[in-house]
Amino acid sequence: MNNSYKTDYTPNQKMKKIILSLLGCGCLLAVGNGLQAQTLINGAGSTFDYPAFTKWFEAYGETHPDVRFNYQSIGSGGGQKQLLNQTVDFGASDAPMKDEAMAKAPGKILHFPVVAGGVAIMYNLPGAPKLKLDGDTLANIYLGNIRKWNDPKITALNPGVDLPDLAIVPVYRTEGSGTTFIFTDYLSAINPVWADTVGKSTSVKWPAGIGLGAKGSEGVAGQVKQISGAIGYGELAYADQSKIPYANMKNSSGNFISPAPDSVSAALATAHIPDDFRFSMVNASGADAYPIAGASWVLVYQQQKSADHGKKLVDFLKWAVTDGQKISSTLDYAPLPDSVQQRELSVLDTIKY
């Protein structure tokens, strides 16, 4: 027994050594390659942006093999937090960063809108009629002042549609979300009572005893699809996927508009956008503008710590706000208008590295 142990032992050891040294060489080669050629850019944040980023990284990577991306789709809050802690190269958020948070940051943070989208108002009614709604009616539904589908305010907007005597069940996002920010931003802009009692935020205190909370846009779509009389809000893509009808919303020019990417681009073109790009585009003034729309931002420090990372990040962002827009518009995001693209490019040039 002892003998056989001994003879077994040495070849085993040898094998181990060979395997280990092979592995070591492999690792060294991999690291060497990475250092020479590829830069890893880290980002974190919004889930709303995630599909766009995925497509962009893929397309950009084909022409720029020297850069690789890693994006954690952990939510806007997490994205802002990680940027403040400087653990990522860029953050992505559905709501612009608040002044208090910006003040705490170790450097100046710039906002760049990269995608924009409309929020569809979905509903579940027998016969699935096409409805028209306006902001004030919507606010009163979520405030609990309008509780039946055959309320005079709704029937007045929809002549010829036979609305049932059915309770309205408002459905909302239970977790914080950029979609909720856009929705409450819009209602605050239209209805002063809403602005005073509920306000606008990624997560608000919903009027008590009215409606249901659901997790995620897919959760809201699911609840609306199931509950007869329900109304909810979510990105257009979810309404389309679940084949739920959505309302044409009355814009500030008095036209009823569908939340298609074109009408969101129309809203972007007429929205007032300040120099720091922290803007709201709800209830925009264009005749074809869809009123419940918002952007999502990439957040970066103006002073980059690493020249290599900084340069590659800026190059990528320049590409994303211009050529990248053609790709993201295939995913139901509204493309940024030329004027906005040009302004973003000039601010991107102010980033130092």
Partner 1 sequence: MALAVFVLVALIGYELARGSQPALHKFGWHFLFSSDWDPGSDNYGALPFIFGTLVSSLIALVIAVPISVATAVYLTELAPLWVRQPLIMFIELLAAIPSVILGFWGLFVMVPWLHDHLFPGLRSMLGFLPLFRGPDYGPCMLAAGIILAIMIVPIITSVSREILRSVPGLQREAAYALGATRWEVTRIAVLSYAKKGIFGAVILGLGRALGETMAVTMVIGNSPQFVASLFQPGSTLASWIANQFTEAIGDLFYSSLFELGLVLLGVTVLVNIFAQLLLKTFAGPSVKPQH
Interface contacts to partner 1, rule CB under 8 A: 47, 74-78, 80-81, 95, 98, 101, 167, 169, 174-177, 198-206, 208-209, 211-215, 219, 222-223, 226-227, 230
CA dist 187 and 193 (Å) reads: 9
CA dist 351 and 269 (Å) reads: 25
At residue 350, the 3 state secondary structure works out as coil
Q: CB 334 → partner 1: shortest distance, Å? A: 22
Q: CB 194 → partner 1: shortest distance, Å? A: 11
Q: CB 297 → partner 1: shortest distance, Å? A: 13
CA dist 305 and 107 (Å) reads: 10
User: Residue 224 or residue 269: which is nearer to partner 1 going by CB?
Assistant: 224
- Which pair of tokens denotes residue 328? 């993201």
Closest CA to 175 of 121, 213, 224: 213
235-248 residues labelled b (16+ CB within 10 A) or e (exposed): bbbbbeebebbbbb
User: Residue 43 or residue 211: which is nearer to partner 1 going by CB?
Assistant: 211
Q: CB 92 → partner 1: shortest distance, Å? A: 13
User: Residue 158 or residue 174: which is nearer to partner 1 going by CB?
Assistant: 174
User: Residue 265 or residue 280: which is nearer to partner 1 going by CB?
Assistant: 280
User: Residue 190 or residue 351: which is nearer to partner 1 going by CB?
Assistant: 190
Q: Which residues pair with 172 in a beta bridge?
A: 213
Q: CB 271 → partner 1: shortest distance, Å? A: 23
The answer to whether the CB of 56 falls within 8 A of the CB of 327 is: yes
Closest CA to 294 of 217, 236, 224: 236
